[in-house]
Amino acid sequence: MITSQEEISSARRIVVKVGSSSISGVNSGQVEPLVNALATVHSDGTEVILVSSGAIATGMPYLGLESRPEDLATQQAAAAVGQNVLVYRYQDSLDRYGIVSGQVLLTAGDLDDPNSRSNAKRAMERLLSLRILPIVNENDTVATHEIRFGDNDRLAALVATLIGAEAMVLLSDVDAIYTRPPEIPGAERIRVVAPGDQLAGVEFGEAARAGVGTGGASTKVSAARLAASRGTGVLVTSASQIGEALRGAEVGTWFTPQSDVS
């Protein structure tokens, strides 16, 4: 078990989750530096699982949409187009390193059902043993409730638990969890969250719905707590700091894993 942030660099198996706004639209160029960082640890023998949002956001321009669609059918259509393009972008960048990716699409129901969960675990374990880099996303084309209210932070935590990841890195546009929204004067970065720390007095802002993402600080804290309670250390930071994060540098907010997990 990894108990400190510095030990991330020695993780045998790690889950990295990136949000829609970090790799789509004006930030689509972030895919390359993200892949650079993942390829570096992959070449060192680390087993890497990427949980990537962004299917709907990536598909929107191909449907002539300037903002995230409100109706479910159009969201599903955008996801169907965008997932294909998104995985192509990742694979095109991974080709420079001779790394092959494998697409894994899941819904919350898949991980609730014992048979589906077992199948998903077996598939990902085999992909990892073959040195394939799994790219996991919610199956937005068939999901319903998840598209409207969900995010991939919880999915990442469930995947980390499923495959026994030693560490998880949650990436967004904000470099850490703060005591209040970082744009508000007096906001202070929270460096470490210990098991059982309820973060009393911390103020979370509302997740921005005007953009392409659906998550926010509160969803990341919830997901981080879930994974940490099951023995996975979690770092929350920005996509621009992925390289430092995977080297175990002192960035972001670290959620110390619970040590007495059976």
The answer to the question of whether 140 is labelled as a binding residue is yes
In a domain, 167, yes or no: yes
At 147-201, the pLDDT tens digits run 443 578 999 999 999 999 999 999 988 999 999 999 999 999 999 999 989 888 8
Rounded Cα distance, 136 and 161, in Å = 14
Rounded Cα distance, 34 and 47, in Å = 16
* pLDDT at residue 185, as a whole number: 93
* pLDDT at residue 192, as a whole number: 96
In a domain, 43, yes or no: yes
In a domain, 147, yes or no: yes
The answer to the question of whether 222 is labelled as a binding residue is no
The answer to the question of whether 172 is labelled as a binding residue is yes
* pLDDT at residue 150, as a whole number: 53
The pTM assigned to this predicted structure is 0.92
The answer to the question of whether 129 is labelled as a binding residue is no
The answer to the question of whether 53 is labelled as a binding residue is yes
Report the percent of the chain where pLDDT is more than 70: 92
Tell me the DSSP string of 9-23: GG-SEEEEEE-HHHH
* pLDDT at residue 251, as a whole number: 96
Tens digit of pLDDT at every position of the chain (262 positions):
899 999 999 999 999 999 888 888 888 888 999 999 999 999 999 999 999 999 999 999 999 999 999 888 999 999 999 999 999 999 999 999 999 999 999 987 788 889 999 999 999 999 999 999 999 998 878 876 544 435 789 999 999 999 999 999 999 889 999 999 999 999 999 999 999 898 888 888 765 444 444 457 889 999 999 999 999 999 999 999 999 999 999 999 999 999 887 6
Rounded Cα distance, 239 and 26, in Å = 14
Q: How far is CA 88 from the centre of its chain?
A: 18
Structure-block tokens of residue 238: 């920005």
The answer to whether the beta carbons of residues 57 and 28 sit under 8 Å apart is no
In a domain, 76, yes or no: yes
- Give the count of domains, the chain: 1
The answer to the question of whether 173 is labelled as a binding residue is yes
* pLDDT at residue 112, as a whole number: 86
Give the range of the structural domain holding residue 187, as residue numbers without chain letter: 5-255
* pLDDT at residue 144, as a whole number: 64
Q: Write the single-letter amino acid at 204.
A: F
* pLDDT at residue 145, as a whole number: 56
Rounded Cα distance, 175 and 22, in Å = 12
* pLDDT at residue 110, as a whole number: 85
In a domain, 145, yes or no: yes
In a domain, 104, yes or no: yes
CATH number of the domain at 116, please: 3.40.1160.10
In a domain, 182, yes or no: yes
* pLDDT at residue 207, as a whole number: 54
In a domain, 261, yes or no: no
